[in-house]
Amino acid sequence: MSKITAAITAVGAYVPDYVLTNDILATMVDTNDEWITSRTGIKERRILKDKDKGSSFLGIKAAEDLIAKKNLDPKEIDMVIFATATPDLPVAATAAYTASQIGAVNAFSYDLQAACSSFLYGMSTAASYIESGRYKKILLIGADKMSSIIDYTDRTTCIIFGDGGGAALFEPNDEGLGLQDEYLRTDGIGREFLKIEAGGSILPPTEETVAKRLHFVKQDGKTVFKYAVSNMADASSKILERNNLTGADVNWLVAHQANKRIIDATANRMGLDQEKVLMNIQRYGNTTSATLPLLLHDYEKQLKKGDNIVFASFGGGFTWGSVYLKWAYNS
């Protein structure tokens, strides 16, 4: 019997209509388009303005896009993994609500939280379930309403993040396509440099925590940048070494869209030509758990069956890693 591998067989995505440009941000905080573009590569980001809608709305829309394109019966989905840093509610899993809303009534589901590495870790999780032989169709969703946890008076964070959702369907493959290898890591030192101070079990919400704006993302930008550049590049280089690949063997780099300079450093370390680097950070900013599936969606028509793709991510915690995958279909 040939080994079962886990392949991505469909993708979907959704971004909100409202476009928050650098020029609009410059009317809100002390910044400008040139400063933001030169340091991050971001020109605009999408924002979900409806206060009654959360990350589940973005994930549901992305899943519905995939289901329609694939002509998939949601009842056939065995499992839904919702990768997010911004769940709708504490305790009640966003995945459970999402699965019910899209008609995946036979699926079990749960949330996966690893900050910006959530979707990458979710790929490993979904692949493991498929390779076990117990499940045939796993829907991995990455969605974040980052605007819900961003302080728009803090110019160090509000320029970076946007809202969006993406989804990928994992199914068994007997042609040797799909996920080939992974290199995933964490380091708890990151807890101090990228976090939301209040709202957890250490510092529950109070009038004081709200008044002090402790429920928004805070980061030590220089430290996070330093760790992200070295670790994302290291992980991507390591995955090439382990699989006897060079930059010439890689068709595409699908890297977390946090900062163009980090993506460029990763590509350079891998010896990749710029045309092999998928990038949409200029349009969406950092959508956290949604960046990787949004890239797959935006570039789907360029991906060919058998293409060697390296995924890379870095997030709070710190969490980071790289995945090597062979693409399974022609769009």
How confident is the model over 45-76, as pLDDT tens digits?
Answer: 999 999 999 999 999 999 999 999 999 999 99
Query: How far is it, in rounded angstroms, from Cα 215 to Cα 217?
Result: 7
Average confidence (pLDDT) over 220-245: 96
pLDDT confidence bin for 146, thresholds 50/70/90: very high
- Does 256 qualify as catalytic in the annotation? yes
pLDDT confidence bin for 1, thresholds 50/70/90: low
Q: Is the pLDDT of residue 181 over 60?
A: yes
Count the Cβ atoms, other than its own, within 10 Å of residue 174. 12
Can you read off the two tokens belonging to residue 197? Answer: 């101070």
Q: Catalytic one among 22, 116, 158, 173? A: 116
pLDDT confidence bin for 168, thresholds 50/70/90: very high
Q: Which helix (H) or strand (E) holds 201?
A: none
Q: Is the pLDDT of residue 234 over 80?
A: yes
Q: Catalytic one among 158, 173, 286, 297? A: 286
Helix pair angle (291-298, 118-131), 10° resolution: 80
Average confidence (pLDDT) over 298-327: 98
Can you read off the two tokens belonging to residue 31? Answer: 């910044």
pLDDT confidence bin for 304, thresholds 50/70/90: very high
CATH assignment of 180-327, given 3.40.47.10, 3.40.50.720, 3.10.180.10, 3.40.50.280? 3.40.47.10
Do residues 239 and 180 make contact, with C-beta atoms less than 8 angstroms apart? no
Burial class of residue 302 in the structure, from the number of CB atoms within 10 Å of its CB (0-12 exposed, 13-18 middle, 19+ buried):
exposed
Average confidence (pLDDT) over 250-257: 98
Mean predicted lDDT score pLDDT of the chain: 97
Count the Cβ atoms, other than its own, within 10 Å of residue 189. 11
Looking at the whole model, is its pTM more than 0.85?
yes
Strands (E), 153-287: 163-173, 178-186, 194-196, 217-219, 252-255, 277-278
Average confidence (pLDDT) over 85-112: 98
Asked if 5-177 and 180-327 have one fold, the answer is yes
Three-point CA angle 39, 87, 292, nearest 5° = 45
Q: Is the pLDDT of residue 154 over 70?
A: yes
Q: What is the CATH topology of the domain spanning 5-177?
A: Peroxisomal Thiolase; Chain A, domain 1 (3.40.47)
- Short-list 110, 113, 114, CA closest to 96: 110
Do residues 53 and 82 make contact, with C-beta atoms less than 8 angstroms apart? no
- Does 158 qualify as catalytic in the annotation? no
- Does 286 qualify as catalytic in the annotation? yes
Average confidence (pLDDT) over 145-166: 97
Q: What are the tens digits of pLDDT across the range 8-30?
A: 999 999 999 999 999 999 999 99
The pLDDT of residue 2: 75
Burial class of residue 151 in the structure, from the number of CB atoms within 10 Å of its CB (0-12 exposed, 13-18 middle, 19+ buried):
middle
Query: How far is it, in rounded angstroms, from Cα 177 to Cα 306?
Result: 7
The pLDDT of residue 331: 87
Q: Where are the alpha helices (DSSP H) in 154-220?
A: 155-158, 207-211
Q: Is the pLDDT of residue 296 over 60?
A: yes
Please state the domain extents for the chain: 5-177, 180-327
Q: Which helix (H) or strand (E) holds 282?
A: helix 281-284
Q: Is the pLDDT of residue 129 over 70?
A: yes
